[in-house]
Amino acid sequence: MVEKKALVLKIYVYVVFLIGLSIFLYILISYKNISLLGVVLFGMLIFIADNLSAPLPKTGSVSVNFGISLASLILFGPSTAIIVTFISIFNIREIIKRIPYYRHIFNAGQYLISMGIASLVFELMYNREVSNFFNPVNLSYILAAAYIFFFLNTILTAGAISISEGIGLANVWIFNFAWLIPFQLFLAAMAIAISFLYRLYGPFTLLFTSLPLIIAQYTYLLRVKERRALLNSIMQIVKIVEAKDPYTAGHSVRVAEYSEKIARELKLNEYDIELLINLANLHDLGKIQIDLSILNKPGKFNQEDWEEVKKHPVVGYDIVKEITFLKSEAKSILYHHERIDGSGYPYGVKGEEIPLFAKILAVADSYDAMTTSRPYRNARSNSEAIIELKNNSGTQFDINVAGAMIEILKREMAKS
């Protein structure tokens, strides 16, 4: 099964690459009017822009690349635009990171197909004889080129994700890419501004049109890096917390993994999924305040111990709510031990008062507790976990969230 999927993916990648390469060569042969100045200037810009783009969760990157490619298409035609696009394929970070070669091949193929077809259609329609740059018909072709590129680019990428993750193409596309539709409008406007000023006043206008965007993009990249550095240091603290209690080693990472699976089953968007993973990693951060002698107690907890343990969601919440990019959902940490029927802690809130992320954390957390060995009992099997999840649905666990976890487990059991 896994081998078949890998083979289909490989065939897909090579087919995309070969089609992309053919379109690239076809354009170079059919449109010989390459602008050397265009290639150098726009090639340089796109190379800088691409290497300063910030990665998005799983779905590629936010980048102004296409705006630059499209401007070169409007100014110089398909052959220059396709070479500029070709240059954007070389990303130093990806080469240094040694990402697998088929990812390079796929990216190259899908960019060449998307930009190639958008360029060919554009060139057939766009009237270069019209003197008014803002001719509405011509502008509509620029917009058409932007969206042809967008749909081909995202559908081809969604295809690869769909094959490798075994999720329907439409689902992958809607949840990963649909939200980017308005952004394409911004890129088309940017291309129009770049090419209009370039035509009117010459190449130096690029300093005013593209560079500010590239700088904005670089600032965003720095912010993403800063965020990652902060998360890394927090993860170090989580490891220290887990080291205090040998029975929970690796617990937070596993809870994050299960939370992600549940979130995907519930079809949350990528931004929410990333936020949830970060929160799941930190959900037991508050245990940092619990006394070592309690955590390592071999027998059952007494009332006093329990009172101490019950404070950890509050302590964790107090820390996480101070982190800017996590605070919107920090309450999920506060409520991760609450139960639907109100019998949980620390506050005994119930039902819809508990946020969705907290309900997901609760199921992921309990599933991990069920399936790992504790001093007082052995690990339970997946079928036993399913029964337990079912029995406690609607009382301890949210019915939908527990249902999602049961579906995931059933699927995994059927596969093995």
Cα distance between residue 238 and residue 375, in whole Å: 22
Beta carbon of residue 385, minimum distance to Fe ion (angstroms, whole number): 18
Q: Are 154 and 177 in contact (CB under 8 A)?
A: yes
Give the residue nearest to Fe ion (CB): 284
**Stretch of 75-83, 129-137, 280-288, 376-384 lying at the interface with Fe ion (CB under 5 A):** 280-288
**Could you say which residues in the range 117-176 bind Fe ion, by CB under 5 A?**
none
Q: Are 309 and 290 in contact (CB under 8 A)?
A: yes
Beta carbon of residue 361, minimum distance to Fe ion (angstroms, whole number): 8
Cα distance between residue 117 and residue 19, in whole Å: 11
Is residue 368 near Fe ion by the rule CB under 5 A? no
Q: Is 62 helix (H, G, I), strand (E, B) or coil?
A: strand
Beta carbon of residue 389, minimum distance to Fe ion (angstroms, whole number): 18
Closer residue to Fe ion in complex, CB, 183/306: 306
**Stretch of 173-181, 250-258, 283-291, 371-379 lying at the interface with Fe ion (CB under 5 A):** 283-291
Beta carbon of residue 20, minimum distance to Fe ion (angstroms, whole number): 49
Beta carbon of residue 307, minimum distance to Fe ion (angstroms, whole number): 15
Closer residue to Fe ion in complex, CB, 284/368: 284
Q: Cα dihedral angle (172, 174, 180, 182), rounded to 10 degrees?
A: 160
Closer residue to Fe ion in complex, CB, 284/338: 284
**Stretch of 9-17, 150-158, 278-286, 318-326 lying at the interface with Fe ion (CB under 5 A):** 278-286
Please give the helix or strand (H or E) that residue 61 lies within, else none.
Answer: strand 61-62
Beta carbon of residue 13, minimum distance to Fe ion (angstroms, whole number): 42
Indicate which single residue of 50, 123, 260, 284 sits in contact with Fe ion (rule: CB under 5 A): 284
Give the residue ranges of DSSP H helices in 126-210. Answer: 136-165, 169-176, 181-201, 206-209
Cα distance between residue 98 and residue 312, in whole Å: 41
Query: Residue 59 gets which letter from DSSP?
Result: S
Nearest to 312 by CA among 365, 380, 391: 365
Closer residue to Fe ion in complex, CB, 284/388: 284
- Interface residues toward Fe ion, by CB under 5 A: 284
